[in-house]
């Protein structure tokens, strides 16, 4: 199983299966039979050992059988993400056994991780407006990321569309509201920065017609878990303009930072694709939107230093107002290294965040943004969407 998320305060681990055969075997062990396209993740509670998010571990089948016999496994009904919860209180044996490398699994069966080893789709399918009044809406959806870019009051781009894994399915449906109908009318593009639940959760509740209506869908071709594989399969099946892109394989000698490379640029919208990284947050897609007087960065969970090296010097070195959607909900995005030119006036730094036990946003990050003359805005404090007009 792959560790998707770790909550050290609550002693919980969220994990998913690597592929469908593992999911079927697990179901057989505990006497259940759930469909592969439903929730597949497992929330382990009262787990006190140290593990690393993003790593893959073998699990003890004997212990799973024991836990099932002891009625420690609870089926979760109101979730698009979590299939069951397993209580490990008092269990001394570690349910997670030997660590298994991604490299070994992908070499054995590349289809586990990559839908196309070289990427699929054509970036020429991407077409974003180069003129028109811009508004960016940072949605108030709790601990997650959902951003809409409007051109002349029409949604033309959706960048990430997720919320926390613990959000109940009924709440997800409620927050999605009438967006199915709205997106079917406006036909925006959809970009998924990387395959973390809080960046794609709402896709689970979307209608097929909505997914078909997106002008294009751009995501990474590295799908690290069963949940992301199932979602990608649905996206690519329903939308012929689904583009799966791998990391940019170019290297920059003597530079230790993970590079960002221009993937698409019409001088209003610039999409960046990262180089290869073992850090799941650094490895992904991000978007910069600019005009002559304003700019805004949609960074996903990528780190400040990546933009400091590869975006600020080339794309933001002119007199204007710059807005920043704060990466990783104000949490760990590396040290605050974001040296804008003296020509650039700092606007709002928007943090999309909700109730959480990760400590987001970090106090030192709020302090750094304030010291850099950004005006910090938070969706949880405003309790509303935040709108930036460029």
Q: Per residue in 240-272, pLDDT tens?
A: 999 999 999 988 888 889 999 999 999 999 999
How many other C-beta atoms lie within 10 A of the C-beta of residue 259?
A: 20
- Within a domain: residue 340? yes
Q: Do 146 and 80 belong to one domain? A: no
- Within a domain: residue 346? yes
- Within a domain: residue 118? no
Average pLDDT, the chain: 92
Q: Do 105 and 131 belong to one domain? A: no
SS3 per residue for 87-148: ECCCCCCCCEEEEECHHHHHHHCHHHCECCCCCECCHHHCCCCCCCCEEEEECCCCCCEEEE
Q: Per residue in 283-322, pLDDT tens?
A: 999 999 999 999 999 999 999 999 999 999 999 999 999 9
Which tokens belong to 76? 């979760």
CA distance 117 to 120: 8
Q: What is this structure's pTM?
A: 0.94
Q: Per residue in 40-50, pLDDT tens?
A: 999 999 998 88
Domain's final residue, options 48, 79, 112: 112
Q: Do 15 and 97 belong to one domain? A: yes
Q: Do 354 and 249 belong to one domain? A: yes
Backbone angles phi, psi at 96, to 5 degrees: -90, 125
Q: What is the mean pLDDT of residues 171-186?
A: 95
Q: Are 280 and 302 in contact (CB under 8 A)?
A: no
Nearest to 327 by CA among 303, 347, 358: 303
Domain's final residue, options 93, 112, 131: 112
- pLDDT of residue 380 exceeding 80, the answer is yes
Question: What is the model's pLDDT at position 188?
Answer: 98
Question: What is the model's pLDDT at position 107?
Answer: 44
Q: Do 327 and 367 belong to one domain? A: yes
Q: Per residue in 87-98, pLDDT tens?
A: 999 999 999 988
Which domain CATH number covers 335?
3.60.15.10
């Amino acid at each position: 199983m792959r560790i998707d998320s770790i909550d050290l305060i609550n002693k919980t681990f969220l994990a998913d299966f690597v592929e469908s055969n593992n999911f079927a075997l697990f179901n057989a062990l505990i006497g259940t039979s759930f469909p592969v396209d439903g929730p597949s993740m497992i929330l382990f509670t009262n787990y006190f050992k140290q593990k690393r998010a993003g790593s893959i571990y073998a699990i003890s089948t004997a212990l799973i059988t024991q836990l099932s016999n002891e009625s420690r496994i609870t089926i979760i009904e109101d979730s698009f993400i979590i299939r069951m919860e397993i209580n490990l209180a008092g269990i001394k044996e570690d349910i997670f056994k030997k660590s298994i490398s991604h490299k070994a699994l992908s070499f054995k069966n590349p289809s586990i991780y990559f839908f196309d080893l070289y990427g699929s789709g054509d970036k020429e399918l991407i077409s974003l407006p180069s003129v028109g009044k811009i508004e960016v809406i940072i949605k108030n959806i709790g601990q997650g990321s959902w951003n809409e870019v409007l051109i002349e009051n029409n949604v033309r781009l959706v960048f990430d569309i997720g919320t926390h894994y613990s959000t109940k399915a009924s709440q997800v449906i409620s927050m999605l509201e009438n967006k199915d109908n709205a997106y079917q009318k406006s036909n925006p593009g959809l970009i998924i920065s990387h395959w973390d639940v809080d960046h794609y959760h709402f896709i689970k509740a979307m209608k097929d017609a909505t997914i078909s209506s997106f002008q294009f869908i751009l995501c990474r071709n590295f799908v690290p878990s069963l949940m992301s594989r199932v979602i990608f399969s649905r996206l690519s099946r329903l939308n012929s303009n689904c583009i799966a892109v791998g990391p940019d394989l170019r290297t920059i000698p003597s530079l230790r930072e993970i590079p960002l490379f221009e993937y698409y640029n019409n001088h209003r919208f610039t999409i960046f694709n990262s180089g290869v990284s073992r850090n799941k947050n650094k490895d992904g897609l991000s978007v910069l939107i600019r005009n002559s007087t304003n700019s805004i960065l949609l960074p996903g969970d990528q780190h400040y230093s990546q933009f400091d090296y590869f975006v600020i010097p080339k794309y933001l070195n002119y007199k204007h107002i710059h807005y920043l959607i704060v990466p990783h909900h104000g949490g760990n995005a590396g040290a605050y290294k974001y040296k804008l030119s003296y020509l650039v006036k700092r606007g709002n730094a928007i943090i999309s965040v909700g109730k959480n036990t990760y400590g987001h946003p970090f106090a030192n990050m709020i302090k750094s943004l304030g010291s850099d003359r950004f005006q910090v805005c938070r969706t949880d404090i405003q309790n509303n969407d935040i709108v930036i007009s460029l």
